Amino acid sequence: MTDASGLYELKNLSKRYTRGKETVAIFDGLDMTISQGDFIAIMGPSGSGKTTLLNLLGGIDRPSSGEVLFEGQRIDNLGQGKLAKWRAKNAGFIFQFYNLMPTLSAAQNVELPLLLTNLSGKARKDRVKTALDIVGMVDRAGHRPAQLSGGQQQRVAIARAIVADPKVLLADEPTGDLDRTTADEILQTLQLLNKELGKTIIMVTHDPAAASYAARELHLNKGRFEEKGKA
């Protein structure tokens, strides 16, 4: 599934936090390459920096030092406005707790990223319908999040993540709040998006069963990656 073209390149990446007088290094000198079409599961113990890494890849946090390159361009040094535009164009986010807008219907939630594009109202509606169709939620388009189950909400969240056709999907514990059966359905959907639509997916998870859906598993431990090969 993966090809040779590098989508992400992390160079000598460090992230440190200051707590009082103490400086804590999450990782130091991390190097990594993610190719277009990868489906990577990032695993590791709590506090190992999985979510921090995902934040850096998604352009919502900045490294203490080092570089984050996306398609050969640095994104770690972009201003907030440019970074917001970069996120809107290139990254789709899937949260553990879905984070749908409670006042909006499923379709309106999915349409949110398209408000940042120049698409016409009709084009947006068509896109929303397609995205909901991909995740099997067309018949729930008019429902509000409170009227949907956890699994259905996560499907809507996935539709929202893919509707603007981003190059990468960043998922943080996307099945962490779901039962096994529903989690498997969600993971199958992600696998489908990776295999059929070629979406690059980077998923943080604690769950080995969830990680098994990914093409690559990376274990983050003490600021270093340990890659577990897969057939």
Q: Which residue lies nearer to another protein by CB, 124 or 155? A: 124
Q: Which residue lies nearer to another protein by CB, 69 or 112? A: 112
Give min distance, CB of 54 to another protein, in A: 6
Give min distance, CB of 93 to another protein, in A: 5
157-167: burial string, b at 16+ Cβ within 10 Å, e else: bbbbbbbbebb
**Cα(197)–Cα(181) distance, integer angstroms:** 23
85-102: burial string, b at 16+ Cβ within 10 Å, e else: ebbbebbbbbbbebebee
Give min distance, CB of 88 to another protein, in A: 2
Q: Which residue lies nearer to another protein by CB, 1 or 84? A: 84
Q: Which residue lies nearer to another protein by CB, 30 or 128? A: 128
Q: Which residue lies nearer to another protein by CB, 2 or 51? A: 51
**Cα(231)–Cα(205) distance, integer angstroms:** 20
Give the chain's radius of gyration (CA, Å): 18
C-alpha 133 chain-centroid distance: 20
Q: Which residue lies nearer to another protein by CB, 3 or 24? A: 24
Give min distance, CB of 201 to another protein, in A: 14
The 200-204 sheet, strands edge to edge: 91-94, 168-172, 200-204, 39-43, 216-221, 224-228
**Cα(13)–Cα(223) distance, integer angstroms:** 10
Give min distance, CB of 204 to another protein, in A: 8
Q: Which residue lies nearer to another protein by CB, 204 or 214? A: 204
The three-class DSSP label of residue 94 is strand
Give min distance, CB of 157 to another protein, in A: 10
Instruction: Write out the residues near another protein by the rule CB under 8 A.
Output: 51, 54-55, 58, 60-61, 80-81, 84-89, 93, 95-96, 99, 101-104, 108, 111-113, 115-116, 124, 160, 170, 172-173
**Cα(185)–Cα(145) distance, integer angstroms:** 19
Query: From start to end of 64-163, where are the E strands?
Result: 65-70, 73-74, 91-94
**Cα(222)–Cα(227) distance, integer angstroms:** 14
Give min distance, CB of 48 to another protein, in A: 13
